[in-house]
Amino acid sequence: MALFHVRMDVHIPRDLDPQVREDTIAREKAYSQELQRSGTWRELWRIVGQYSNISIFDVESGDELHELLSGLPLFPYMDIEVMALTRHPSRIDD
Ligand SMILES: O=C(O)C[C@H]1C=CC(=O)O1
């Protein structure tokens, strides 16, 4: 198991066909909800006032995360920042 903190900033071009926009967002929602149900996409939070999210992914490796992120329907319109997480030695829970 490996945890990753991911920030996604979405920049959909203003001139994108509205039907394509709507369809892409609907496919993104279905894709993300499937990964949430499976426990892979552990956390999904909106950053207040921005078309951006902070997410936590629970995957086997960076390669797996890369595959998942590249498969996002909105991937072509996103800037993505990834931070690998490891356990803090001062944490008290197991
Ligand atoms: O809206 C976003 O932040 C982008 C993306 C992440 C999940 C989802 O449904 O859309």
> Which pLDDT score, from 0 to 100, does residue 81 have?
98
How is 31-62 classified by DSSP, letter by letter?
HHHHHHHTTSEEEEEEPTTSSEEEEEEEES-H
CATH architecture of 2-85: 2-Layer Sandwich (3.30)
Q: Select from 1, 21, 23 the least CA-distant residue to 10.
A: 21
3-state helix, strand and coil shares in percent for the chain, rounded to the nearest 5: 35, 35, 35
What is the spatial distance between Cα 39 and Cα 33, in angstroms, rounded to a whole number? 10
Domain ranges of the chain: 2-85
> Which pLDDT score, from 0 to 100, does residue 18 have?
98
> Which pLDDT score, from 0 to 100, does residue 94 have?
73
> Which pLDDT score, from 0 to 100, does residue 62 have?
97
> Consecutive 10-residue runs of the chain (94 residues): their mean pLDDT?
97 98 98 98 98 98 98 98 97 88
What is the Å distance from ligand 1's center to 78 Cα? Answer: 10
Residue 64: strand, helix, or coil: helix
Pocket flag, ligand 1, residue 2 (CB < 6 Å)? no
Task: Determine which helix (DSSP H) or strand (DSSP E) holds 70, and give its type and residue range.
Answer: helix 62-70
Would you say the C-alpha torsion 3, 62, 83, 74 has a positive or negative sign? negative
Total-model pTM: 0.95
- CA-closest residue to ligand 1 atom 5: 28
